[in-house]
Amino acid sequence: MIETKVSTYLFPLILSIVLVFFIYPIYLIFSLAFQPDASIFSYPPKFIFTPSLENFIFVIGSYKFTNYLMNSVIVTTCSVILSVIIGLPSTYVMSRYDVKGKQIIFSAILLIRFLPTIAIAIPIYLIYAQIGLYDTLLGLILVYVLLNLPFVVLLMSGYLVDVPKDLEETFEVDGLSKTSVFFKVTLPLISKGLLVTALFCLIFTWNEFAVALLLTGKDARTLTGQIASSMGFSPGMFCASGLIVALPMIIFGLLIRRYLIRGLSLNMVK
């Protein structure tokens, strides 16, 4: 009886503490973004204040903001498309055919994803500095394709395994080529999984800043890289910049959360 009462009150308390722990940073960034510096540094702190768009106006009107935004859009779009175009056929071949050294190749691909991003970015930086790809959109896109490919292979392999090989062979017997079977039969069956994979790659690429900061200077820098390099801004401007970058993905995630959860749940079941 006592244990039941303890669990009844203890678990909600623990969950409330955890919830506050995760929500407070979100509240803080929203709060500081809408406060002028005079209000932020006032003592005692003001928990009730008049919201101001001063920080957002300054950040959006700052030097090259539009350029950084376009760089983020171009790099994210191109890297996600290339990751899917390269990763899906590769995963299909490894899941359908007896490729020599398939397990070694698969493990090597996943190893790239398990390594810390900075461990990959530093040697790539040294290479890019020698071959002229430093501070270029192409160089940044190639790195994000490298980082996204393991994720594409890992997720899509679960969806492809669930498609019966006998089903494809049946259509091949009816006269369809392997390419036609893939596009007309297999691809429609895994389309939801492909959408989920692309969405996760999109979110990761848009939010990533370590690579964008290390491998770019001024010309190819993305919004996240620019924010990370602008630590000298006031807290309000810094939070406003972070909110501008995070807001599209927050809205996007809320709109497609049903597909993300469903896609991951299907992959877990498989």
Cβ neighbors of 260 (< 8 A, separation 6 or more) are 196, 199, 200, 253
* Model pLDDT, residue 269: 44
CB 221 within 8 A of CB 212: yes
Q: Which amino acid is at 74?
A: I
Cβ atoms < 10 Å from Cβ of 61: 9
Q: Residue 139: what pLDDT? A: 93
Q: Which amino acid is at 3?
A: E
pTM (predicted TM-score):
0.81
> Rg of the chain over CA atoms, in angstroms?
23
Between the alpha carbon of residue 252 and those of residues 99, 116, 224, 243, 256, the distances in Å are: 38, 27, 17, 14, 6
The two tokens of residue 66 are 């539009």
Q: Is the pLDDT of residue 270 over 50?
A: no
Share of the chain above pLDDT 70, in %: 88
pLDDT at 260 over 70: no
Whether 110 contacts 195, CB under 8 Å: no
Residue 263 has pLDDT above 70, yes or no: no
Q: What is the pLDDT of residue 261?
A: 63
Between CA 227 and CA 221 the distance in angstroms is: 10
Confidence of residue 7 (pLDDT cuts 50, 70, 90): low
Over residues 112-127, the pLDDT tens digits come to: 777 888 888 889 999 9
- For residue range 181-200, what is the model confidence (pLDDT) as tens digits? 888 888 888 888 888 888 88
pLDDT digits (tens, 9 = 90+) for 126-175: 999 999 999 999 999 999 999 998 889 888 888 888 888 888 888 887 78
Q: Give residue-wise pLDDT tens across range 96-107.
A: 887 777 778 777
Higher pLDDT, 245 or 38: 245
- Residue 218 pLDDT exceeds 60: yes
CB 147 within 8 A of CB 211: yes
Mean pLDDT of the chain: 81
Record: fold of 64-229: MetI-like fold (1.10.3720)
